[in-house]
Amino acid sequence: MRKAVLLAIIALVVLASVLIWAGWGRGWGSPQTDSTFDGQRAYDWVTKQCDLGPRPTGSEAHRALKQLIRAALQENGWQVESQTFSHQGIEVENITGKAGGIGRPIIIGAHYDTRPQADRDPDNPTAPIPGANDGASGTAVLLELARALQPIRQPVWLVFFDAEDRGEIAGWGWSVGARYYAQHLDTEPQAVIVVDMIGDADLQIYLEANSTLALCQEIWSTAAELGYSDAFIQRTRWSIIDDHLPFIERGWPACLLIDFDYPYWHTQADTPDKVSPESLQRVGTVLERWVEKRSKPLR
């Protein structure tokens, strides 16, 4: 009997040692080296969004997506805040998930609306786009980060910007939601990262000319450490109007991650089959690792 009890105790000690060594439960022992971001989970979020249909600001599908975003954030323990305003008679809503302590936050953002007209489509330029890569991919990465980043060691805000993609349609500008958000933000962020169109199966993210170079170099260096230099290319190629610009205009460091070499941009062919779980995995893993590198030790 005593021998059986002793063996059971030894087994429990061995099991506990294994769990500690493996980092069971983030924050135990040494930091984990393997990312918990799951590209397939992120891809599932892409398909869930596209199953709703096109999601232009103010549409029924857009309202349904807002509910999904809020529910996913709350389920993963994030404090959810909404910022609503009216633009040309349509309600616009930025959604923020907050976690971590007090201080200057890291903001990771993406637009969740889709363009109401496929103006680059050769056959049907007036129909709304499906927005699998342009809209759903960035949103999917944020939703998966909401699960993967817990627990948070420092302030991180996941911001879902509305009304980015109606520019030059019926008098709308670009980045309406992000511009309003930045103008009304009274907390200076330590860094802003915007992800947009990062799901292309042939992922090629170049440095963007308007972005804060020093901040981008942190991201690109992290990608290189992970072996992703083929996807994060150390060369400037584009100068793009996107949701990072309103923050740069306020003097805050911001970096845009975008693969602008996407042949299906603003067309009816921007569908989930053009998006790769592996590309989502790479971007999400880089962001997760970068946040961890910037995090302060737990006390």
pLDDT at 2 over 50: no
| Residue where the block lists tokens 């549409």 | 59
| β-bridge mates for residue 158, sequence order | 97, 108
Q: How many CB atoms lie within 10 A of CB 33?
A: 7
| Domain match, 82 and 149 both | yes
Residue 299 covered by a domain = no
* Residue 251 amino acid letter: G
Helix-helix angle 39-51:277-294, to 10 degrees: 120
Q: Does residue 7 surpass a pLDDT of 80?
A: no
pLDDT of residue 153: 79
193 has which bridge partners? Answer: 108, 255
Q: What is the distance between the alpha carbons of residues 209 and 211, in angstroms, rounded to a whole number?
A: 6
Peptide bond into 151 cis (omega under 30): yes
Do residues 199 and 280 lie in contact, with contact meaning Cβ atoms separated by under 8 Å? yes
39 and 168, same domain (yes or no):
yes
Regarding whether 91 and 28 lie in a shared domain, the answer is no
The pLDDT assigned to 154 comes to: 86
User: What is the domain range of residue 250?
Assistant: 35-294
Tell me whether residue 268 is in a domain: yes
pLDDT tens readout for residues 231-277: 999 999 999 999 999 999 999 999 999 999 999 999 999 999 999 99
Size of the chain, expressed as the number of residues it contains: 299
212 inside domain: yes
What is the pLDDT averaged over residues 283-291? 97
Q: Which CATH number goes with the domain that contains 145?
A: 3.40.630.10
pLDDT in tens, 20-60: 333 333 332 223 334 599 999 999 999 999 999 999 999 99
- Contact status, residue 254 vs residue 211, Cβ threshold 8 Å: yes
* 26: in domain: yes
Instruction: Examine the domain organization and report whether 84 and 23 are in the same domain.
Output: no
Asked whether residue 165 falls in the same domain as residue 204, the answer is: yes
Inside any domain, residue 224: yes
Q: Is there a single domain that holds both residue 1 and residue 58?
A: no
Give me the helices (H) in the chain, please: 2-22, 39-51, 60-75, 138-148, 176-183, 213-225, 245-249, 277-294
Within this chain, do residues 96 and 19 fall inside the same structural domain, yes or no? no
Tell me: pLDDT of 174 over 60.
Answer: yes
Q: Are 291 and 149 in contact (CB under 8 A)?
A: yes
In a domain, 227, yes or no: yes
189-247 residue pLDDT tens:
999 999 999 999 999 999 999 999 999 999 999 999 999 999 999 999 999 999 999 99
Same-domain pairing of 220 and 110 = yes
Residue 205 lies in a domain: yes
State whether 23 and 90 are in the same domain: no
96 bridge partner residues = 81, 159
* Count of domains forming the chain: 2
List, for residues 105-148, the tens digit of each pLDDT value: 999 999 999 999 999 999 999 999 999 999 999 999 999 999 99
Q: 22 with 81, same domain?
A: no
Contact (Cβ atoms closer than 8 angstroms) between residue 197 and residue 110: no
- Domain check: are 17 and 105 in the same one? no
Secondary structure of residue 280 in the 3-state scheme: helix
**Residue at 14 is within a domain:** yes
The closest alpha carbon to 177, from 84, 255, 77, belongs to: 84
Residues 286 and 155 placed together within one structural domain of the fold: yes
User: What would the two tokens of residue 243 be?
Assistant: 């949701």
pLDDT band at 298 (very low <50, low <70, confident <90, very high): very low
